[in-house]
Amino acid sequence: MAGCEAAWQAANCGVPVIIHEMRPRVGTFAHRTGNLAEMVCSNSFRSDDDEQNAVGLLHWEMRAAGGLILSMAEKHRLPAGGALAVDRDPFAESVTAAIRAHPLITITDEEITRLPDDGQWIIATGPLTSSALGEAIRAETGADQLAFFDAIAPIVHAESIDMSVAWRQSRYDKGETEAERTAYINCPMTKAEYEAFIDAMLAADKTVFHEGETAGYFDGCLPIEVMAERGRETLRFGPMKPVGLTNAHDPQVKPYAVVQLRRDNALGTLYNIVGFQTKMKHGAQTSVFRMIPGLDGAAFARLGGIHRNTFINSPNLLDGQMRLKSRPNIRFAGQITGVEGYVESAAMGMLAGRLAAADMTGRALATPPPDTATGALVTHITGGADAKTFQPMNVNFGLFPPVEAKGGRRGRKDRYRAYTDRAKTSFYEWLAGQS
């Protein structure tokens, strides 16, 4: 995501760009294709609400900046209530085609194994940085490369879901169209079914770390069984919360817990189980997930998995322009910098591409103000965060300078609108300064 967006933005500033992409010649254990911008985890860019949600605001900023990723996401959008979800394979194909068609962008299928000494470079290798390049980064920085484990949710064939048990509804009936209001498939659980499910999940065989591996989990993408280990009720207040939903088959009975599935392709033949990232072994996944009412006969297009993600300690290593302090000809962008999420990664690519283009054309370009979503993220990773406790971070209003608005839950709606209104004004001004 970040590399594609960086290349697109730099090229649209008139700077020739070469993308060095090691796939498909050198594969990873998470990617399936050789396409750029392949979505290996979720197919969702999360909330598209640009008035009340920091992620939605970041969508707005990316659109305002002429972002490739958001324009292709819109082209391949799937009904998902208030979220922006995409048909992942056509999305990646369209991003790849747009990049290949750009007259100032060239793609080479080679692996970069060392840090270049000259030229302007952006390293946007994502969470699955190759071991050779990872070693080169570690050797240059003199610090251990940080890491966490990231998990993938399973995908189910829609025809195998028992719709006499499950029903279609977005939480709180959110969405402007009938397709959006019915974008999710919901599987209800009684208390007894929930308790049995938790027991089975906790007892299931799981992937174990190899000797010597040390890593923490990112709290925004925890394996479901890790959440369950933190307390038996955790899932009922997380991905299995039963609020905002009414069982169409039995409206008078409120489910104790609800498992949601979100459409994963335009045909509506595949659905991913929302929030069900897992490190359970495949055999265990099949039996445990078939305990979910409505999924007793589930056929899986893809089972979940776990993989190692890497990121650098950006507050220590990067300057305010996203350059490696020890090698200013190299910028980092995307998830490797310690932002978490597709949109956050693409936004850092957008910024890195524009900053690099400005350098190459002899222009001074400041980063966006910290009261914008993009600016809040780059400020966080380049010095706003404590380097000693640095962990991957999604965009959120807690990263923004405070606004003068009523506090507490009652004032939240007005406060969030104040954040987004202020940000849009600032971001427009930042863009206008580049024209």
Express each pLDDT in 372-422 by its tens digit: 999 999 999 998 888 877 878 889 998 999 988 776 667 888 999 999 999
Both 57 and 165 in a single domain? Answer: no
Both 100 and 190 in a single domain? Answer: no
Structure confidence at residue 255 (pLDDT): 97
Q: What is the pTM of this model?
A: 0.82
Both 95 and 199 in a single domain? Answer: no
Write out the residue range of the structural domain in which residue 203 sits: 152-307
Both 140 and 183 in a single domain? Answer: no
Find tokens 């490190």 and name the residue.
279
**CB distance 13 to 357 below 8 Å:** yes
Structure confidence at residue 19 (pLDDT): 97
pLDDT in tens, 18-34: 999 988 777 676 677 87
Both 356 and 213 in a single domain? Answer: no
DSSP-assigned letters across all residues of 105-135: EEEE-----S--SSS-EEE--GGG--HHHHH
Both 269 and 165 in a single domain? Answer: yes
User: At residue 262, what are phi and psi to the nearest 5 degrees?
Assistant: -115, 140
Both 267 and 317 in a single domain? Answer: no
Both 354 and 316 in a single domain? Answer: yes
**CB distance 154 to 273 below 8 Å:** yes
Alpha-helix runs per DSSP H in 274-364: 282-289, 314-317, 342-360
Both 166 and 294 in a single domain? Answer: yes
Residue where one domain finishes, among candidates 307, 324, 345: 307
pLDDT in tens, 195-212: 999 999 999 998 776 544
Q: Count the domains in the chain.
A: 2
Structure confidence at residue 210 (pLDDT): 55
Cβ partners under 8 Å of residue 41, min gap 6: 150, 152, 153, 221, 277
**Ranges of residues in the chain whose predicted pLDDT is under 70:** 27, 29-30, 127, 143-150, 209-220, 307-308, 407-409
Task: Calculate the CA 315 to chain-centre distance.
Answer: 21
d(CA 87, CA 272): 12
Nearest C-alpha neighbor of 5 from the set 78, 42, 58, 83: 58
269-288 exposure pattern, b = at least 16 Cβ within 10 A, e = fewer: ebbbbbbbbbbbbeebbeeb
d(CA 74, CA 97): 16
Both 164 and 127 in a single domain? Answer: no
Amino acid of residue 127? P
Both 118 and 203 in a single domain? Answer: no
Both 394 and 281 in a single domain? Answer: no
Structure confidence at residue 212 (pLDDT): 44
For residue 299, what are its two tokens?
A: 């056929």
3-state helix, strand, coil in the chain (%, to 5): 40, 15, 45
Structure confidence at residue 385 (pLDDT): 87
For residue 270, what are its two tokens?
A: 């595949």
d(CA 81, CA 168): 11
Residue where one domain finishes, among candidates 307, 326, 345: 307
Structure confidence at residue 392 (pLDDT): 81
d(CA 107, CA 89): 19
